[in-house]
């Protein structure tokens, strides 16, 4: 995220953090007639002409090629029957909304939808809660411990997905897994050869652990970065008023970092909802299709079962659902935009 506000060359005496003071944008009355020449503040006026377009062109073009084009193809595909036969013979069979009506009338599809939504909600709640907690902790720690904690967070964040899934698979392995060993050592019975991937639910719980573990660093480090912008005097003031830690958080930290919480939550919703590699690599959506989330369902229908049309329809419906959720976010943003 860019931190500077763009553009204006007028010196804005108070930029952050309390925006309330800056609400009236009238420049301070000049005390004397032109005594000092105002030095340009780092930035000149925006370049005009073709240059800005040239600069954004590569990004836009690559977006169009890598996202927009596949998206359009995907929409087209979702109105076709494209099974193995059509795939090989390159026939185009238009079926209108058949894929959609078939899906929307399929109880399996709705099971997967509910599962994905619940799974995302639990994940995001945990990630936000734990991430915020660790972020607060980072802010309070001494230099050395903070370094150690940030480093370990960075390592978790930097771990490649499939590698981390493999590690988790082994942790929960039926025969050699450390999880079974721990349970046995703690004196629980029935963990001789406990199969952690026996049901879709327990498989999803393990995936949840992995996703939370992998996503918490992002929230925690961002939270810490955000906290550094909250002036210490605010805490001091809160302390003077005798506010508890809980109260301080809700009265000082939360309002100050509201936009941080909002964007991180929505980013996490998107990430978790579309998490594919973790879910698929853990148990291929099994057992008995019990841990399939929407992206995995689309993959198995498409690549596994050769029903590419149906798979395209699933992914379009997934996008529609995300857009529905995200529209709240966009509305909030636009509303704020108007207020300012």
Partner 1 sequence: MKRKLIAAIGVAGMMVSIAACGSDSDKGKDGGKASAGGDKTLTVWVMDGSAPDAWMAEVNKAFEAKHPGVKVKVEKQIWNGIQEKVTTALSEDTPPDVLELGNTQTAGYAVTGGLADLTGDKATLGYDAWNKGMVASNELDGKLYSAPWYAANRVVVYDKAAYKKAGVTPPKTRAEWIEGLKKLKASDPKSQAIYLPGQSWYVLAGLIWDEGSDLAVKDGDKWKGNLSSPEAAAAMNFYKELASYSTAPKDKDEATPQQSTDVVPKGGVASWIGLGWEAGGAIDAMKKAGKTADFGYFPIPGKTADKPGSVFLGGSNLAIAERSQNKELAKEWLALAAGKDFMTKYAAATEGALLPNTDAAQFKPAAGSFAEAMALSSASGKVTPVTPGWANVETAPNPIKDYMTKVLKGEDAKAAGEAADKVINERINQQ
Binding site for partner 1 (CB under 8 A): 1-2, 5-6, 63, 66-68, 70-71, 73-74, 77, 82-85, 87-90, 174-175, 193, 195, 197-198, 259, 263, 266-267, 270-271, 274, 276, 284-289, 295, 298-300, 302-306, 308, 311-312, 314-316, 318-319, 322-323, 326, 329-330, 333, 336-337, 340
Residue 244's DSSP bridge partners are none
**Sequence-ordered list of residues with C-beta below 8 angstroms from that of 333, at least 6 positions apart, any chain:** none
How far is Cα 313 from Cα 109, in angstroms, rounded to an integer?
11
Among residues 83 and 150, whose Cβ is nearest to partner 1? 83
Backbone angles phi, psi at 187, to 5 degrees: 95, 10
Instruction: Look at phi and psi of residue 146 and say left if phi exceeds 0, alpha if psi is from -120 to 50, else beta.
Output: alpha
Closest distance of CB 1 from partner 1, Å: 6
38 or 89: whose CB is closer to partner 1?
89
Residue among 6 and 26 whose Cβ is closer to partner 1: 6
Q: What is the rounded CA–CA span in Å between residue 253 and residue 228?
A: 11
CB of 148 to partner 1, least distance (A): 31
Mapping DSSP to helix (H, G, I), strand (E, B) and coil, where does residue 242 land? coil
Q: Which residues of 245-269 are buried (b: 16+ CB within 10 A; e: fewer)?
A: eeebeeebbeebbeebbeebbbbbb
- Looking at beta carbons only, is 102 or 137 nearer to partner 1? 102
Give CA–CA dist 7/102, Å, rounded: 52
Minimum distance, C-beta of residue 181 to partner 1, in the bound complex (Å): 16
Cβ atoms within 10 Å of 133's Cβ, excluding its own: 14
Q: How far is the CB of 125 from partner 1 (least distance, A)?
A: 19
Q: How far is the CB of 45 from partner 1 (least distance, A)?
A: 16
Which residues on neighbouring strands pair with residue 145, listed in sequence order?
none
- Of 179 and 326, nearer to partner 1 (C-beta) is 326
Nearer to partner 1, 95 or 150 (CB): 95
Minimum CB separation of residue 163 from partner 1 in Å reads: 18
């Amino acid at each position: 995220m860019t931190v500077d506000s763009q553009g204006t060359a007028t010196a804005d005496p108070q930029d952050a953090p309390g925006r309330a003071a800056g609400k009236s944008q009238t420049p301070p009355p000049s005390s004397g007639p032109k005594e000092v020449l105002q030095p340009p503040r780092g930035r000149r006026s925006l370049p005009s002409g073709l240059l800005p377009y040239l600069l954004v062109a590569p990004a836009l073009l690559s977006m169009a090629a890598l996202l927009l084009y596949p998206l359009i193809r995907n929409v087209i595909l979702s109105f076709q029957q494209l099974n193995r036969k059509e795939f090989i013979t390159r026939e185009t069979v238009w079926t209108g909304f058949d894929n959609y009506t078939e899906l929307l009338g399929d109880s399996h599809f709705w099971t997967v939808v509910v599962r994905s939504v619940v799974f995302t909600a639990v994940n995001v709640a945990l990630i936000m809660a734990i991430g915020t907690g660790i972020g607060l902790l980072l802010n309070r720690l001494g230099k050395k411990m903070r370094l150690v904690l940030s480093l370990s967070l960075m390592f978790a964040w930097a771990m490649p997905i499939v590698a981390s899934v493999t590690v988790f698979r082994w942790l929960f392995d039926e025969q050699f897994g450390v999880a079974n060993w721990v349970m046995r050592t703690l004196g629980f019975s029935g963990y001789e050869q406990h199969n952690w991937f026996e049901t879709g639910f327990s498989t999803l719980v393990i995936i949840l652990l992995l996703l939370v573990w992998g996503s918490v660093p992002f929230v925690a480090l961002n939270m810490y970065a955000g906290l550094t912008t909250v002036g210490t005097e605010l805490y001091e003031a809160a302390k003077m008023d005798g506010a508890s830690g809980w109260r301080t958080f809700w009265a000082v930290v939360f309002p100050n970092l509201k936009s941080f919480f909002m964007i991180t939550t929505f980013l996490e919703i998107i990430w978790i909802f579309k998490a594919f590699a973790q879910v698929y690599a853990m148990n291929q959506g099994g057992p008995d299709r019990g841990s399939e989330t929407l992206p995995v369902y689309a993959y198995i229908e498409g690549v596994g079962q050769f029903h590419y049309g149906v798979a395209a329809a699933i992914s379009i419906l997934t996008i529609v659902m995300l857009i529905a959720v995200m529209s709240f976010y966009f509305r909030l943003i636009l509303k704020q935009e108007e207020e300012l």
